[in-house]
């Protein structure tokens, strides 16, 4: 029997960040999307269990992409966690939601990212 690795879509215009994240998060099946205009199409084809979504990107920002995902019947229940460098880790603790979504401040360690992924993949645990 094949083990199912949770599928994580990372949408971030920083290719270096998505590549390092994919290489460090080996417990997950990771798909990278560095073009926010293609994020919805990639999410539809990949059918992720969770989406890590950068806030500040050219073309469409994270809020735009999140709205597109929420409008899609097959994706609207997929958890979204924003990634942002505009809010510090200390501010994250004081304000756990950004635009109604949980978020992680960058830079982020692989351990903290994995812990956040697990928390949002299994919110009832």
Is a pLDDT exceeding 70 seen at residue 14?
A: yes
Q: Is residue 86 included in any domain, yes or no? A: yes
Q: Is residue 70 included in any domain, yes or no? A: yes
Is a pLDDT exceeding 90 seen at residue 2?
A: no
Residue range(s) defining the domain that contains residue 46: 7-121
How many folded domains does the chain comprise?
Answer: 1
**Residue 106 banded pLDDT, cuts 50, 70, 90:** confident
Distance of CA 120 to the CA centre of its chain: 10
Q: Is residue 77 included in any domain, yes or no? A: yes
* CATH code of 86's domain: 3.40.50.2300
Q: Is residue 72 included in any domain, yes or no? A: yes
Proportion of the chain in helix, strand, coil states, percent, rounded to 5: 40, 20, 40
pLDDT in tens, 34-63: 999 999 999 999 999 999 999 989 989 999
| Distance, CA of 12 to CA of 4 (rounded, Å) | 24
Q: Is residue 11 included in any domain, yes or no? A: yes
Residues 76 and 69: beta-carbon distance below 8 Å = yes
Residues 65 and 11: beta-carbon distance below 8 Å = yes
Nearest to 68 by CA among 101, 36, 31: 36
SS3 96: coil
Rg (CA), the chain: 13
pLDDT at 1 (0 to 100): 44
| Pairing assessment for the beta strands 29-33 and 50-54 based on DSSP bridges | unpaired
Is a pLDDT exceeding 70 seen at residue 3?
A: no
| Distance, CA of 86 to CA of 69 (rounded, Å) | 22
Q: Is residue 1 included in any domain, yes or no? A: no
Which range is least confidently modeled, 78-82, 84-88, 94-98?
Answer: 94-98
pTM, full prediction: 0.88
| Distance, CA of 125 to CA of 111 (rounded, Å) | 18
Is a pLDDT exceeding 70 seen at residue 98?
A: no
């Amino acid at each position: 029997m094949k083990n199912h690795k949770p599928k994580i879509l990372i949408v971030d215009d920083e290719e270096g960040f998505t590549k390092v994240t994919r290489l460090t998060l080996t417990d997950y099946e990771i798909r990278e999307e560095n073009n926010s205009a293609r994020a919805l199409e990639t999410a539809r084809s990949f059918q992720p269990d969770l989406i890590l979504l950068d806030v500040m990107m050219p073309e469409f920002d994270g809020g735009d992409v999140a709205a597109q995902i929420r409008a899609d019947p097959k994706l609207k229940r997929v958890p979204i966690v924003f990634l942002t460098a505009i809010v510090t880790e200390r501010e994250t603790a004081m304000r756990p939601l950004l635009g109604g979504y949980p978020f992680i401040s960058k830079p982020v360690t692989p351990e903290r990212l994995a812990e956040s992924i697990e928390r949002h993949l299994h919110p009832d645990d």
